[in-house]
Structure 1
Amino acid sequence: MRAVLQRVSRAQVEVDGQTTARMNNGLLILLGVTHTDQQENAEKLARKCAQLRIFPDAEEKMNLSLLDVKGSAIVVSQFTLYADTRKGLRPAFIDAAQPEV
């Protein structure tokens, strides 16, 4: 699994013009999944994301976790995180898991 985390003060996801998720203060997580990923990979990554100390404390030091700030998270599937661009000009997505996963 690969994840890109973005700290946000607010975020919203829309699909076909309908809002499917909305939050204030938390993490927007772009998540790429590959064929060999297992449930334990997802659980470990979820714990890591929740416990990363990437939010500022009272002294503006990145010292607080998502749990500490009582933030939210939105996870968006992002198969492009497994793009292979080593050859040619068209990325290959052979390493990305199928959409059903």
Structure 2
Amino acid sequence: MRAILQRASRASVSVDGTVVGALSGPGLVVLVGATHTDTAQDAAALAEKIWRLRILDGELSCADADAPLLVVSQFTLYADTRRGRRPSWSAAAPGDVSEPLLDHFVSALRGLGAQVATGVFGAMMEVELVNSGPFTISLDTEDFAKPRRG
């Protein structure tokens, strides 16, 4: 799984002009995508990593600060732009694979004690945020959750 984390002082996600999720205070906006080989274990590992990552003010984690998270599904994180001018989405898992993984990710965060708001899977969403810092990082479970080869 792949995630983009943005530290935000405020954020919301809307569908058809209606806010469906918002941070209740300063926290993290988490854009999440899945690929074909991702598993529920990857989703849980990503949740644990994000919950405990010390990237908030004062080198605190969301766990330390009880900071909220706004999670938004984003298959475009797996865009392949190496050839031509039109991105390929073939590395992104289809909805019937990625939606349960995203649900597991959100459930894992909530199981750790996180306050989590979400967007609507598969919907056209508008995300508004004030990036605090600005501070944006990317995480990929291939970098920390899967056994290394060779």
Q: TM-score, normalised by structure 2?
A: 0.62
Q: Which residue does the alignment assign to 2:75?
A: 79
CA offset digits 1:62-94 (Å, max 9, x no partner) = x21011111000111111110011111000000
2:98 is aligned with 1:97: no
Residues 52-91 of structure 1: pairs in structure 2 closer than 5 A: 52-57=53-58, 63-91=59-87
Structure 1 residue 99: deviation in Å? 2.1
Q: TM-score, normalised by structure 1?
A: 0.91
Q: Which residue does the alignment assign to 1:27?
A: 28
Which protein has the larger Cα radius of gyration, Structure 1 or Structure 2? 1
CA offset digits 1:37-63 (Å, max 9, x no partner) = 100000000000000000122xxxxx2
Q: Distance in 2 between matches of 1:66 and 1:47?
A: 10
Q: Distance in 2 between matches of 1:28 and 1:46?
A: 13
Q: Distance in 1 between matches of 2:64 and 2:17?
A: 33
2:12 is aligned with 1:16: no
One-letter amino acid of the structure 1 residue matched with residue 85 of structure 2? L
Tell me the C-alpha RMSD between the 2 structures: 0.8
Runs of 4+ in 1 over 2 A off after TM superposition: none
Gaps of 5+ in 2: 99-150
Larger strand proportion, structure 1 or 2? 1
Q: Which residue does the alignment assign to 1:42?
A: 43
Q: Distance in 2 between matches of 1:27 and 1:55?
A: 9
One-letter amino acid of the structure 2 residue matched with residue 13 of structure 1? V
Q: Secondary structure, in 3 states, of the residue corresponding to 2:64?
A: coil
One-letter amino acid of the structure 1 residue matched with residue 36 of structure 2? H
> Percent of aligned positions with the same letter in both sequences?
50
Larger helix proportion, structure 1 or 2? 2
One-letter amino acid of the structure 2 residue matched with residue 2 of structure 1? R
Aligned residues: 96
